[in-house]
Structure 1
């Protein structure tokens, strides 16, 4: 990253600090950034020497947004699929049978592109559940970290692991699939817990804490039904040892709810609790098909959930019981999920949809989500799901200088009635004028300061067509599995699991 780290004084902004308990209404103040942190917040702050002064009257200053769950591996598949539930969509976005992994240069550019589009939309922190099919190469993981270092974003990067064969984690899978297709879904010896532990320890040694702590490594077992018990327990031990999240997918679809019953005789959440991997370190993406008992256990455990409202809608996964989770004391973040199951890196879209999509089903209006609750999910509570709430997510002295400045003189705020409500219901990212990460200006008036965007796209326009053409051939090869996954979904829909979502 090449931007200056000099002091910055932002004068006279409307500051929405999102700090509890009194920072959830805007107040006019100056904010001083020094050494990558927020050095002071107050009125008429003195101007230090060698300081950039930004006049911010008529501007709103807020914490940078946190995208608490995404997958950089989907970035090139934006707008490629529709009308597919998760189990069918996975065949095409992740291709169970495929060729060589994406080339190193495209791996770098793919990661960089996600960071670029995130920063331009006010996202200063990403949680990237990076998936490199069965590879677990520190060299390739290093390419991902380098892209995020160059872009200037704050990030938790993990390298997803699964070591249960596909059909052994899919209800009715071995009944439904004919033998010749079962053989094609046999990928050889799975990763062992010992091998994955050794890989992660090396990743922590090489990458964790780079760029003054802006880049971190996290732990991601793909999902409890996709990992053996010893793998889940090894992942949890790593998370506790290094003070990072154990970030996993949980009960995204009805099929996965049936998997818990069929393979463990209990919910997948209960399985995680019983094997000792459910606590403050545990972050659960989706958490749709959970029971009331699950919710109570999650509250007692102090775990976190990442709500992915647009991905859940696109894949038809269901409505997560967010109000019940909040009432149980579960911290909720917001995630785009990948840019194939969502098609956008815009967290402001998530804020609006999360605030509105649960106003259905006869729920009393008093239990609908409020604007400030969803803004909290996109900032401070999103940071909590990443175990970064002591670092970022609110504008407080001593925290990282991760922030976004928006212009209030535009149609999103005209007429100006309530800034907080208009931020949630009217803003779409078009008002963003300045994005700062760790005290560095990374985007100003829509122009990235860390990346030559045109050069990136010139290169992508040369390299992407051949890659996407090849991926299209693997999509065709995987189509043979779709009727059988459709039958799995049909059977799971006919299975009584005691809840509807």
Structure 2
């Protein structure tokens, strides 16, 4: 069984969850990864693979968990974590997102990408889907993002965001409430660039090609359907089909976005889902981030077309967006993944927090008892994320033939004592404190809670150098929002006076 030309990683005497329920027991087994892929798992199987070159990890008193897939993330505002408390979604975008900032330096792009990736890895996240925005687009900056992920060893599905409609035109009541002299301050998640065809650039340079390190792949990322023309949505669908690329977009994140659909898509029954289906942009490669304010008929359409959903409870609460109908997705068999979203509004790339919030908020979404949630949300954070990025066949599980992405969690930590249910305690008790080692593609990238790939102290030093400029620019963005705030509040009141056919706020209504 030995092969000196191969790289072999062995995990000995570790604990594995044996089953797919909250009451699944633990079994002690070995795990063998060769050339980045799991080749065998079972009691005592490591003996057949020992060579002097093999890397051997002692898994005693540790639980091996598939690597989490952070299926909705934006690296572009890592530096803004901790800068704000609650903000309405559309106002927050003016505070933290690239269109509201001057062009950034390549050094800042690299540092923020590494920093966000480090936080993900230290919490057991081994894959991210990064909907990164550049304003304006810069080829060298995209290269810096790719290089950062491959340097630190995080698997990433990168999708630069795009749109061809200005944000102010997709926000109900903004054009009528914001005076003309202030409208240039009202930006959105991504603004159109009439002088640059991003999709053409990505197709010529990246789609259908692998990066040198093999950790980065590509996705299509229209920022939101209502920010895109019929032509751009149809083009997205065509490229997805041609290159078998996953698509990630924001949909129905707030009541304002639902009202935009009800108002301007009346030819499609006020439904973005109906419109997208007519454009060919539904199905298993399409992932709808947030998906809070959907009508029942739209939920049924997602189930019929096998369109996927990515839930982001961490940001939805802070941005007053509402609570997604998780139990409705579960009843209909709609595949859903979990994301941690923007660092400026979730503040933490922590899948343990995301799982716990998803399970507990779902519990109070119904007065009647719901099925157990722990296994469902753990599956969403692992295999569900793999389905979202088109890797269900080789990512998100710890079976032979799957990629060797996993973490080792300390079972002697107080969160695990007494150990009554590994699945429940992963979801409800573990905070990330117990993550000891993280492996991506058979490569140990986190050991004893620290990166094996980068100098963390040096990264902190570089961060201190770039923060003064960022904070100056953030302060200027905050000043612009304060000027707009009275008009934004008026538009917000008008939105909430309208009926969109559903209520996703836990306000007693």
Structure 1 length as normaliser, TM-score? 0.93
Pairing 1:430–2:433 present = yes
User: 1:6 and 1:183 mapped to 2: Cα distance?
Assistant: 55
Q: Answer whether contact 2:408 2:438 (CA < 8 A) is retained.
A: yes
User: 1:278 and 1:469 mapped to 2: Cα distance?
Assistant: 42
User: 2:187 and 2:415 mapped to 1: Cα distance?
Assistant: 52
User: 1:89 and 1:23 mapped to 2: Cα distance?
Assistant: 41
Q: Note the C-alpha offset of 1:83.
A: 2.3
User: 1:112 and 1:8 mapped to 2: Cα distance?
Assistant: 25
Residue 139 of structure 1 corresponds to 140
- Mean alpha-carbon deviation: is it higher for 192-201 or for 439-448? 192-201
Residue 153 of structure 1 corresponds to 154
Q: Answer whether contact 1:88 1:486 (CA < 8 A) is retained.
A: no
Q: Answer whether contact 1:351 1:424 (CA < 8 A) is retained.
A: yes
User: 1:438 and 1:428 mapped to 2: Cα distance?
Assistant: 24
Q: Note the C-alpha offset of 1:192.
A: 6.0
Q: Answer whether contact 1:145 1:215 (CA < 8 A) is retained.
A: yes
* 3-state DSSP of counterpart to 1:379: helix
Identify which of 290, 297, 307 aligns with 1:286: 290
Residue 507 of structure 2 corresponds to none
Residue 252 of structure 2 corresponds to 251
User: 1:420 and 1:286 mapped to 2: Cα distance?
Assistant: 25
Q: Answer whether contact 1:208 1:215 (CA < 8 A) is retained.
A: no
Q: Note the C-alpha offset of 1:34.
A: 0.9
Residue 169 of structure 1 corresponds to 170
Identify which of 191, 194, 197 aligns with 1:195: 197
Q: Answer whether contact 1:380 1:394 (CA < 8 A) is retained.
A: yes
Residue 119 of structure 1 corresponds to 121
Pairing 1:350–2:351 present = no
Q: Answer whether contact 2:23 2:423 (CA < 8 A) is retained.
A: no
Instruction: Please show how residues 87-98 of structure 1 align to structure 2 within 5 Å.
Output: 87-94=90-97, 96-98=99-101
Identify which of 423, 448, 458 aligns with 1:420: 423
TM-aligned CA distance change 1:146 to 1:185, over 3 Å: same
Q: Note the C-alpha offset of 1:195.
A: 2.1
User: 2:376 and 2:457 mapped to 1: Cα distance?
Assistant: 37
Pairing 1:84–2:84 present = no
Q: Answer whether contact 2:24 2:421 (CA < 8 A) is retained.
A: no
- Mean alpha-carbon deviation: is it higher for 144-153 or for 388-397? 388-397
User: 1:375 and 1:157 mapped to 2: Cα distance?
Assistant: 23
- RMSD between superposed Cα atoms in Å: 2.4
Residue 36 of structure 2 corresponds to 36
Q: Note the C-alpha offset of 1:376.
A: 0.5
- Mean alpha-carbon deviation: is it higher for 388-397 or for 117-126? 388-397
Q: Note the C-alpha offset of 1:211.
A: 4.4
Residue 334 of structure 2 corresponds to 330
* 3-state DSSP of counterpart to 1:130: coil
TM-aligned CA distance change 1:37 to 1:227, over 3 Å: same
Q: Note the C-alpha offset of 1:25.
A: 4.9
* 3-state DSSP of counterpart to 1:15: strand
Q: Note the C-alpha offset of 1:48.
A: 2.7
Residue 104 of structure 2 corresponds to 102
Q: Answer whether contact 1:169 1:226 (CA < 8 A) is retained.
A: yes
User: 2:146 and 2:297 mapped to 1: Cα distance?
Assistant: 39
Identify which of 439, 442, 445 aligns with 1:439: 442
Instruction: Please show how residues 47-62 of structure 1 align to structure 2 within 5 Å.
Output: 47-49=49-51, 50-62=53-65
Q: Answer whether contact 2:249 2:287 (CA < 8 A) is retained.
A: yes
1:468-496 deviation line (CA, Å, top 9, x unaligned): 12321232134322222222221111111
Number of residue equivalences: 493
Q: Note the C-alpha offset of 1:361.
A: 4.4
Q: Note the C-alpha offset of 1:184.
A: 5.2
Pairing 1:237–2:238 present = yes
Q: Answer whether contact 1:96 1:185 (CA < 8 A) is retained.
A: no
Q: Can you give the 5+ residue segments of structure 1 that lack an aligned partner in the other structure?
A: none
TM-aligned CA distance change 1:140 to 1:60, over 3 Å: same
Q: Note the C-alpha offset of 1:463.
A: 1.9
TM-aligned CA distance change 1:361 to 1:65, over 3 Å: closer
Residue 16 of structure 1 corresponds to 17
TM-aligned CA distance change 1:183 to 1:6, over 3 Å: closer
- Mean alpha-carbon deviation: is it higher for 196-205 or for 389-398? 196-205
Q: Note the C-alpha offset of 1:212.
A: 5.4
TM-aligned CA distance change 1:410 to 1:185, over 3 Å: closer
Q: Note the C-alpha offset of 1:320.
A: 0.3
* 3-state DSSP of counterpart to 2:31: strand
User: 2:187 and 2:55 mapped to 1: Cα distance?
Assistant: 59
TM-aligned CA distance change 1:255 to 1:153, over 3 Å: same
Q: Note the C-alpha offset of 1:174.
A: 2.1
User: 1:197 and 1:364 mapped to 2: Cα distance?
Assistant: 47
Q: Note the C-alpha offset of 1:24.
A: 6.0
Q: Answer whether contact 2:24 2:422 (CA < 8 A) is retained.
A: no
User: 2:337 and 2:418 mapped to 1: Cα distance?
Assistant: 30
Q: Note the C-alpha offset of 1:416.
A: 1.3
Q: Can you give the 5+ residue segments of structure 2 that lack an aligned partner in the other structure?
A: 505-509
1:291-312 deviation line (CA, Å, top 9, x unaligned): 1100000011111111001111
Q: Answer whether contact 2:252 2:258 (CA < 8 A) is retained.
A: yes
Q: Answer whether contact 1:5 1:36 (CA < 8 A) is retained.
A: no
Identify which of 470, 474, 477 aligns with 1:471: 474
TM-aligned CA distance change 1:351 to 1:193, over 3 Å: farther
User: 1:190 and 1:183 mapped to 2: Cα distance?
Assistant: 13
